[in-house]
Amino acid sequence: MEVPTSPAESPLRLARRHRNWTLERVVNEIDSYLGGSGVTASLLSAWERGTRRTSARYRAALCAIYGQPPETLFAHQDQGRATLALVDADQGLMNPAQVVCGFEHLQAAMVRVVGLAMASLAIVGSRSRDLAYLATIEEVLRMQRRLVHWRVLVGPPHRQVLKDHLVRLLDLRDPADRTYGMQTLHLGMMEDQVREPERFFVASESQAVVTIPSLTAASNFDTGILLAHPLQARALVEHAKQLYAGSAKLETLTAIEALPVLR
């Protein structure tokens, strides 16, 4: 029997309704497919409405569950938005990137990205330990109260200085605060490093730095790529937001204090 629909309904919601499934049923299907996911009914509803964007991991699961391709299921999320696929499109993104080599040069480039952030600041990785870099992040958040910050760890922090930094972020911002009509601090951790391998980058709405394998020594983290095109930078901000959506949230002091430190 055909299910009555509304013109405003997204393809993702239609796929669920045509199966007469509840949101909770789809959450169970995702959990079964992935072996546990952390997806909630409210997050799934946001994906269906297009107010949140589904990450690649969950897109693959939903495509398998519904038997439909991503360009169909997620058209309502991707229309008119910068996506990770744009890095291969002919929209000015093929401009040469700058290789930054040497710890001091890399840190200077990362600090510059943080300092230029006005609307968005996204940082992914668990190895940060440079005090000047971390202090710059805190100062920018202190000065730019409307700046939205996503901080996603990939596994526990490697150093105590990063854990201490996370505590200071909670002193600066309350993730539950909606004074400006939105959440301005998002803290999370990807726990499964097999499904979500380690990666490191810092991105604002205008520039980004991605750490790559060192050009000097295998044990170093002193080389990166500076991306100066805004579409590239915004694509990485979107990358961090997708990771955050599937992360374990670290938005209380109790959650951060419970984190182990690897070194």
Residues 6-19 have pLDDT tens digits of: 446 899 999 999 99
Q: What are the structural domains of the chain? A: 11-78 (1.10.260), 84-257 (3.30.870.10)
Q: Choose between 53 and 127: higher pLDDT.
A: 127
- The structure tokens listed for 8 are 């405003």
What is residue 194's predicted lDDT score, i.e. its pLDDT?
79
pTM greater than 0.85: no
Q: What are phi and psi of 97, to 5 degrees?
A: -90, 160
Cα distances (Å, whole numbers) of residue 211 to 79, 98, 145, 173: 30, 12, 27, 27
Instruction: Calculate the average pLDDT of the chain.
Output: 87
- The structure tokens listed for 223 are 């080389």
pLDDT at 92 over 50: no
Average pLDDT over residues 213-238: 88
What is residue 84's predicted lDDT score, i.e. its pLDDT?
43
Find where tokens 């009914």 sit: 41
Q: Name the percent of the chain lying above pLDDT 90.
A: 59
What is residue 7's predicted lDDT score, i.e. its pLDDT?
45
Burial class (CB in 10 A: 0-12, 13-18, 19+), 143: exposed
What is residue 205's predicted lDDT score, i.e. its pLDDT?
92
pLDDT tens profile 42-72: 999 999 998 888 887 788 889 888 888 887 8
What is residue 89's predicted lDDT score, i.e. its pLDDT?
41
pLDDT at 1 over 80: no
